[in-house]
Amino acid sequence: MTSEKCPVCSKTVYPMEKINIDGKSFHRGCFRCAHCKGTLKLGNFTALEGLFYCKPHLIQIFKEKGNYDEGFGREQHKTKWTKANE
């Protein structure tokens, strides 16, 4: 008997409904884009710092700000340089 739990819903994941990503077992229906909540599949997702995105939204968010930090709600990397110089 399996005791693997889905990180999204915390319910048991059985082999017939399982998808393994980054060493974690998800229900196929729980594996969703962090932006649009659309269901992801093995061939149409990208991972960025522990979050999963559909490829179209990862590209869209990147293009809006031109970088992965500001576009995804994190502190811009260049601010780390200015803090070090202060």
Domain formed by 33-81, architecture: Ribbon (2.10)
- 31 pLDDT above the threshold of 90: yes
The mean pLDDT of 32-45, rounded to a whole number, is 91
> What's the chain look like in SS3?
CCCCECCCCCCECCHHHEEEECCEEEECCCCECCCCCCECCCCCEEEECCEEEEHHHHHHHHHHHCCHHHHCCCCCCHHHHHHHHC
Domain formed by 1-31, architecture: Ribbon (2.10)
Report if pTM > 0.85. Answer: no
Domain ranges across the chain = 1-31, 33-81
